[in-house]
Chains A and B, each alone.
Chain A
Amino acid sequence: MAIAKAERLMNLALCLLGTRRPLSKGELRASIEAYIEAAPVGESGNDDAFNRMFERDKDDLRELGLIIETVEGLDGETGYQARRDSNRLPAITLDVEEAAALGLAAKVWQQARLAGAASGALQKLRAAGMPLAEDGSLSVLETRIPAHEAAFEPLMLAARDRRPVVFDYRKANAVHPEQRRVEPWALEFCRGHWYLAGWDRDRQAERVFRLSRITGKVRSRSLPFTAPVPDHVTVRTTVESWAGETATGTARIKVRAGHGYPLRARAGVTRDLGDGWDELEIPSGHGLDAWLVEFGPDVIVLEPAELRADVIDRLRAVAKG
C-alpha cells in the first residue's frame, strides 16, 4: 500500500523544521521513506514524478502556515529550510472565557476548508497552552455560516492571494450567462447569501456579484490586479438597493384587515377605513410591485399610478394562467 500523504507531509515538515542548515532536494528525497518508495532514484521518469510531488507537498505545507525558505547553495543547488524562529507562534495567553468564546466561533463554518482551518487554528493554540473550556459555559446561541456555492472556495483563495478571476455570471433577468473578468476584493455573507465585491475589468467599475449566480468554474489567473483595492469594501448597500430597501418614494395602499402584517410593520401612516380595510403609507422602492402582488386580493395599490399599473399588469399575467 502506498504511504499515506499525511505521513509524507509530516515527514517533510519535520525534516524542514528540524534541520539547522538548508537541505537539498536530493537529501530530502533520499531521507523520506515515501519519496524513496514512490519514486526510486534511477528509474526512468521518476525524477519528474518526484519533482511534481515535492512541489505539491511544499505548497500544501505552505497552506498550513509553514514558511519554507529557499537558499541558493554555492554548488548551484537549491536548499530548503523552515526556520524555527520564522515559524514560531508568538507567545499568546488566553483565559478560559476567551478559549470558550473562540471555541464557539470556530464551530460556525459549514464550509469544509474554513472548518478545517478553524479547527487547525484551535489545535495550534491548544499546543500553545490554551486552556480547555467547560462545556455549556456559553450563550445559548448556535450559529452556522453556510457556504455551499461551488464558487466560494476558489474566490476566497483568489481574493486572499489577489489573483484576477474569470467566471460565467447570469444576471437576475438574463437569458444567458456572460463571461466576467473580475479582480476579487472581498466576499461578504449578507442576508443569507454570499456576495463578491470586486473590480470588473471589462466595465472598468466596481461590481457586486451574487455567488449563487455564478455558473460553471471560477478560473484564476496568476496576474497582478490592475486597479487599486479600496480600504473598505461593503456589499451591503448594493444588496439593499437590489432588495428594494432603498426607498425612493412613498406608496399609498389599501390592506384588508388582519392581513399584510409585514406591510403594516413598515407603514408610516395607517388609517382604518371602517369597511374592513386599512389605508397604509409605505416606503416605495425597486421591486415593491412584485412583493405587493404576493398579497393577491388583500392589497390594492392607490398610488403612485405607475406602481398601480405595474401591479395590475402582473396580476393580468397570472390571471391569464
Chain B
Amino acid sequence: MAANAIDQTRRMLSLVTYLRERPGARVADVARAFGITEDELIGDLDVLPMCGTSFRGGDLLDIDTDGDRIWWHNPDASGTSTGEPLRLAADEATALLVAARAVATLPGLRESDRQALLRATAKIEAAAGEAAGASSRLSVRFESEGGVFADVDRAISERRRVWLRYYSPARDELTEREVDPIRLFAVGHTYMEAWCRLSEARRTFRLDRVAEIRLLDEPSDPPPVELRDLSEGLVQPAAEDPEVVIEVGPGGRWVAEYYPHDSAEELPEGGLRITLRTPDPASLRRLALRLGRDGRIVSPPELSGSAREAAREALAAYGE
C-alpha cells in the first residue's frame, strides 16, 4: 500500500533504528510492534535496500528478508548511521497527547489504566519538549455518563445480564428490557452495544438515555456477533429502508448536520432538500414538529400527516 509517503518515510526511519538492535527479527513480530500488516512491512523492506547515503562512499542499507526473518548485513556501514530514535514532530505529540488526555477523562476507565495513561502523558510531554506545545490547540471532551458506565463495565467484566429502563426519543417512551452487554464505546457520547433479549437482536444504547439499570444474577450469554466497525458511522441505513424527503429553509439546515443523509441539494434562498433513509419514518415526527416553519416533510405523506395531526391535537389542548 503506497498510502501516504510521509507516513511510510517516518515508519521506515523508525524501522531502521528498531532493526539495528534486533538481527534476525521475525516479520510477524516486527509488523505487530509497528501496528502494520506483514504486507506493509514487506513493502517497506522492498524500499529500504534502495536507501542510504550513496554520497561519497556511503552505502545503501543491505537489508533483506526471506519472508520469515529480517537480516541487515551492513548495520555499521559508513553513512548509515541511523542508530537513534527521532524526536517527536508537533503533529505526533498532538495526536498522542490530545487522545491520551481525552481518554483519561472517560468515566469508568479503570483507575489503574487511568494512572498508567497519566504517567505516560507526563513522560511524552517531557520527551516531546516544545513539540508538545501545539497540543494545547486541540482538545476533546467526552460526555460523562459515569454511573451507568460503571455498572455496564462491571456487568461486562463479571459477564452478567442487565435490566434497563431505556428512553426512546423516537417514541417518547421508556421501555424495560434485559440485555447481554457486548462492549462499551465512545463516539462523542458513550454507548453500549448489547444483545437485546426482548428483540433478540443486537442493539446500541446511548448511556445518557438509560433511565435505570440493574445488574442481574443471570449470566450474560450474547450469541457470537461480529463487532461493528465504528469508523463506518453509528447510523447505517439499509438500502431497503424507506426514503424520507425534507425541505428546509435556512433555519433548518442543522438537519443535514444531525441526520446522516443520502443527499442534500441546495435550494434558492439558503434552503436544502434533504433525502435520507430510515427503517421507521414515523420516528421522525419529532423532527417534523420541531422544524415548524423552518421546514416541511415532502414525503412520505403519512409522516407529514401525522405531524399535522399531532400539532392540531396540541393546539386543541391550548384551546386554539
Q: Are B156 and A140 in contact (CB under 8 A)?
A: yes
Assembly CA distance A308 to B50 (angstroms)? 75
Q: Are A60 and B9 in contact (CB under 8 A)?
A: yes
CB-contact partner of A117 in B12, B94, B269, B311, under 8 A: B94
CB-contact partner of A101 in B17, B117, B167, B172, under 8 A: B117
Give the chain B neighbours of A271 by CB distance below 8 A.
none
| CB of B177 closer than 8 Å to a CB of A | no
Q: Are B47 and A159 in contact (CB under 8 A)?
A: no
Given A11-B51, A174-B270, is A140 in contact with B184 using a C-beta cutoff of 8 Å? yes
The residue of chain A having its C-beta at the shortest distance from the C-beta of B93 within the complex is A121
Assembly CA distance A15 to B45 (angstroms)? 19
CB-contact partner of A102 in B96, B126, B257, B304, under 8 A: B96
Given A117-B89, A312-B320, is A4 in contact with B5 using a C-beta cutoff of 8 Å? yes
**A40-48, A200-208, A293-301 - interface stretch:** A293-301
| CB of A52 closer than 8 Å to a CB of B | no
* Residues 55-103 of A contacting B (Cβ, < 8 Å): 60-61, 63-67, 84, 86-95, 97-102
Q: Are A160 and B304 in contact (CB under 8 A)?
A: no
Q: What secondary structure prevails in chain B residues at the interface with A?
A: helix
Give the chain A neighbours of B311 by CB distance below 8 A.
296, 315-316, 318-319
Contact pattern, B 1-21, Cβ under 8 Å of A = 1, otherwise 0: 010111111111111011000
Q: Are B89 and A120 in contact (CB under 8 A)?
A: yes
Assembly CA distance A189 to B90 (angstroms)? 19
Give the chain B neighbours of A89 by CB distance below 8 A.
84-88, 127
| CB of B157 closer than 8 Å to a CB of A | yes
| CB of A248 closer than 8 Å to a CB of B | no
Q: Are A118 and B47 in contact (CB under 8 A)?
A: no
Give the chain A neighbours of B108 by CB distance below 8 A.
139, 141
CB-contact partner of B188 in A93, A172, A185, A191, under 8 A: A191
Q: Are B86 and A116 in contact (CB under 8 A)?
A: no
| CB of B186 closer than 8 Å to a CB of A | yes
Q: Are B289 and A127 in contact (CB under 8 A)?
A: no
Q: Are A108 and B103 in contact (CB under 8 A)?
A: yes
Assembly CA distance A290 to B269 (angstroms)? 22
Give the chain B neighbours of A31 by CB distance below 8 A.
53-56
| CB of B28 closer than 8 Å to a CB of A | no
Q: Are B141 and A109 in contact (CB under 8 A)?
A: no
Given A10-B47, A118-B92, A127-B17, is A18 in contact with B32 using a C-beta cutoff of 8 Å? no
Q: Are B286 and A124 in contact (CB under 8 A)?
A: no
Assembly CA distance A132 to B72 (angstroms)? 22
CB-contact partner of B10 in A64, A175, A236, A295, under 8 A: A64
| CB of B261 closer than 8 Å to a CB of A | no
Give the chain B neighbours of A321 by CB distance below 8 A.
296, 304, 308
Q: Are A9 and B315 in contact (CB under 8 A)?
A: no
- Determine the interface band of chain A, counting residues with CB < 8 A from chain B: 35 or more
Contact pattern, B 117-133, Cβ under 8 Å of A = 1, otherwise 0: 10110011011010100
Give the chain B neighbours of A5 by CB distance below 8 A.
5
How near does chain A come to B114, taking the closest CB pair, in angstroms? 8
Q: Are A294 and B289 in contact (CB under 8 A)?
A: yes
The residue of chain B having its C-beta at the shortest distance from the C-beta of A84 within the complex is B84
| CB of A27 closer than 8 Å to a CB of B | yes
Assembly CA distance A176 to B11 (angstroms)? 45
Give the chain A neighbours of B87 by CB distance below 8 A.
65, 67, 86-90
* Residues 174-223 of A contacting B (Cβ, < 8 Å): 174-176, 185-193, 210, 212-213
| CB of B221 closer than 8 Å to a CB of A | no
| CB of B288 closer than 8 Å to a CB of A | yes
- Determine the interface band of chain B, counting residues with CB < 8 A from chain A: 35 or more
Give the chain B neighbours of A99 by CB distance below 8 A.
120
Q: Are B292 and A314 in contact (CB under 8 A)?
A: yes
Most chain A beta-carbon contacts within 10 A, residue among B80, B99, B119: B99
Given A6-B5, A261-B211, is A318 in contact with B288 using a C-beta cutoff of 8 Å? yes
Give the chain A neighbours of B316 by CB distance below 8 A.
297
Assembly CA distance A297 to B314 (angstroms)? 4
| CB of B142 closer than 8 Å to a CB of A | yes
The residue of chain B having its C-beta at the shortest distance from the C-beta of A300 within the complex is B317
Q: Are B88 and A65 in contact (CB under 8 A)?
A: yes
Give the chain A neighbours of B129 by CB distance below 8 A.
90
Known: A33-B54, A170-B270, A315-B314. 5 other contacts (CB 8 A): A14-B79, A91-B127, A144-B185, A261-B167, A300-B317
Residue numbers of B with Cβ under 8 A of A are 2, 4-15, 17-18, 32-35, 47-48, 50-56, 58, 79-82, 84-96, 99-100, 102-103, 106, 108-110, 112-113, 116-117, 119-120, 123-124, 126-127, 129, 131, 134, 136-143, 153, 156-157, 167, 169, 172-174, 183-190, 211, 230-231, 233, 250-251, 253-254, 257, 269-270, 285-293, 296, 304, 307-308, 310-318, 320
Jot down 25 A-B pairs with beta carbons below 8 A, ordered by A: A10-B51, A18-B82, A63-B91, A64-B13, A65-B86, A101-B117, A102-B120, A116-B7, A117-B89, A140-B184, A141-B108, A143-B106, A146-B233, A156-B137, A160-B90, A160-B134, A176-B270, A189-B140, A192-B189, A261-B172, A291-B290, A295-B286, A295-B289, A297-B313, A313-B292
